[in-house]
Amino acid sequence: MSALPFANDPSDPYKLLRGLTPEQLDLVGFTLFGRNPAGRLLPYILGLFVNCMLLGVLFVQCSRWYAHGYKGEPWRIRILVLYTLLVNIGITVFLTWWNLNNFASNFGRYRQFLNLDDASLFYLMDAIVRFPVSAFFADRAYRAARQNKILGAVFCVLLLASLAIGVTLKALASQYYGRPLFTRLVLAWLSCHVICDVLTTAVISVFLYRSKTGWSQTDAVITRLMIMTGETQAPNTVVSIIYIIVYTSNTLSTWPFFFVFTGPLFAVCLVAVLNTKVALRRELESDPNVQSLILVPAEPFKLDKATGRQHTSSETGLAVSVESPIESEFTKPQRKSSIEADDANRMPVIRYM
């Protein structure tokens, strides 16, 4: 072959491949992959390796959460964790089979690397894992923003757009991969992820910062929650940005296949948040100055003056309050914070989750 068939129609690099025989596909595959196997095939192996490593981390995180936090979570959170765990196990099994088929069953052949029907499942797998986890974080940001309708609408548009584009990419990959339309869809898909992650982090961080009360214990917890928010959202955002850079630099590169580990990465971040919440609660329960962490919604608390305790009717969300007798140093009438009008009759509260 004097040149790759791609050169005849650069706007549709895979067009001529659809009419080639298996032997011709092997020849084209060798031209693409065989002359630099380390650089072209390494992303497939590294992606599976990182995926398996993160799945192991996810197993450890889920075991810890089941032992310490499972009973205290609402049923929808339990279902979400179970769903992400099972889906990621299925994804890892598929990736293992796919790599064995590529490197073992078809050893010495290259035609399988040109088959986009199996490879394009990555877009669908990423969508079905990322959507519920992103919705979890977006819901926390929405409630932290006191259920702002505009913000909720923005989150819905971004989440549904990312899910729809992910499914569309799977459907169009075999016919349009490498074409400008497909490239624009991939960039739109990744942009929705980045915008949603950045917006979620920003909203939660801003409203946590504005929740500072002046009590050192409460403000310290707020600071830790802000750090936790950044730590759990940053990996997803950074990976999406790197993916955009890698993909736009060369749309025919094999390095995008390295990012097949994004599913377990999102799941690890989800369970890490739940475990951090449990660890923070246990730490505060053992603190002589802050005796309990209460999981409540982002809504006002009512103070029971007979007991000096706060009460709420909802089950979810995260807030920190000090439960102690009315005569304690946190509830004396003369004790004022920077929020003068409110704090005489209520405890310091952090609204989150």
Secondary structure letter of residue 289 according to DSSP:
S
Domains of the chain: 5-283 (1.20.1070)
pLDDT recorded at residue 41: 83
Q: What is the pLDDT of residues 252-294, one digit of tens each?
A: 677 777 888 888 999 999 999 999 888 887 777 776 555 443 4
Residues whose CB falls within 8 Å of the CB of residue 232, separated by 6 or more in sequence, listed in order: 137, 269, 270, 272, 273, 276
Q: What is the pLDDT of residues 70-100, one digit of tens each?
A: 888 899 999 999 999 999 999 999 999 988 9
| 157's tokens | 């548009």
pLDDT recorded at residue 87: 94
Contact 338/214 with Cβ under 8 angstroms?
yes
pLDDT recorded at residue 244: 85
Single pTM value for the model: 0.72
With a cut of 70, list the residues of the chain below it in pLDDT.
Answer: 1-20, 22, 34, 251-252, 287-353
Residue 195 CA to chain centroid, in angstroms?
A: 12
